[in-house]
Amino acid sequence: MSELSGRIAIVTGSGKGIGHRIALELAARGATVVTNDVTGCCADDTLEEIRQMGGDGLAITADVSDAAQVEDLVKTVLDTYGQIDILVNNAGTTRDNLIVRMDEDDWDLILRVNLKSAWLCSKAVIRPMMRKKYGRIVNISSASGIMGQAGQTNYSASKAGMLGMTRALAREVASRGITVNAVAPGFVQTALVEKMPQDILEELTRLIPVGRTGQVEDVAYAVAFLASDRASYITGQVLSVDGGLVMG
């Protein structure tokens, strides 16, 4: 497939998990992919896989919750390729706990890493996209941001914040040929889910109408569609990839 041929994509937090699979999928569809992780080896490993597939790109180590590092990342991409067409705001982490036990530092960390990073990266790429009159921004939210999840007041708030930011930014830039959408995964088979006790995982799976947890590919396919020209008339939307967990 070459539907993204000629497009330059940045995928934050693409060293592992969902972000890793998104990067591979965009590359498989022809995009040049800039991989990113706060740990350099992870971003390098993803880029190596892309090159083994016949694709290309850059690996950039950066903490995308830090404004200066985001500016440097975007400058490097623009200096190298002259354009940024696709941004996938995937970087994130968790620090789960009941609110009565949650430290303020854990609240601040999750809002900074999950939400502020998406705002910083979006802000940094908007001007180049506006000049080109083309852009695709896809924010990776979560079912927890829609329905809430006990023990995740910080995570749920950060992911709900991404949805509000998605809609607001979509309104700001729609006339400039830029779409902004969100994908909200449910329970997906990542290292985090695999660490759950089996009885809890089975109980959660019973809540999913399709009767199974998702795969990282399920999320990657949705992101690739929203990043393509085929989704040019879709903006400000939230696509739940959750097997029916959240409906309505």
Task: Provide the whole-model pTM.
Answer: 0.95
Helix intervals (H) in 174-215: 191-194, 198-205
The rounded mean pLDDT for the chain is: 95
- State mean pLDDT over 214-232: 98
pLDDT score of 58: 98
Write down all domains in the chain, each with its CATH number in brackets. Answer: 8-240 (3.40.50.720)
pLDDT score of 226: 98
Catalytic residue among 81, 134, 155, 233: 155
pLDDT 10s digits, 172-217: 999 999 999 999 999 998 877 777 778 878 888 899 999 999 999 9
Instruction: Give pairs for 58-63: CB < 8 Å, separation 24+.
Output: 58/34, 59/34, 59/35, 60/34, 60/35, 60/36, 61/36, 61/37, 62/36, 62/38, 63/38
- State mean pLDDT over 67-81: 98
Task: Assess contact for 10 and 227: CB atoms under 8 A.
Answer: no
Task: Assess contact for 219 and 183: CB atoms under 8 A.
Answer: yes
pLDDT band at 248 (very low <50, low <70, confident <90, very high): low
Question: In the chain, which ranges are E strands?
Answer: 8-11, 32-37, 57-61, 86-89, 135-140, 178-185, 238-241
- State mean pLDDT over 120-125: 98
List, edge to edge, every strand of the sheet that includes 86-89. 57-61, 32-37, 8-11, 86-89, 135-140, 178-185, 238-241
Q: 24 Cβ partners below 8 Å, 6+ apart?
A: 46, 49, 50, 53, 220
pLDDT score of 159: 98
Report the Cα 70 to chain-centroid distance in Å. 15
pLDDT band at 1 (very low <50, low <70, confident <90, very high): low
Cα angle: 139, vertex 145, 148; to 5 degrees: 170
pLDDT score of 201: 81
Assess whether 233 carries a catalytic annotation.
no
**How far apart are the C-alpha atoms of 70 and 75, rounded to whole Å?**
8
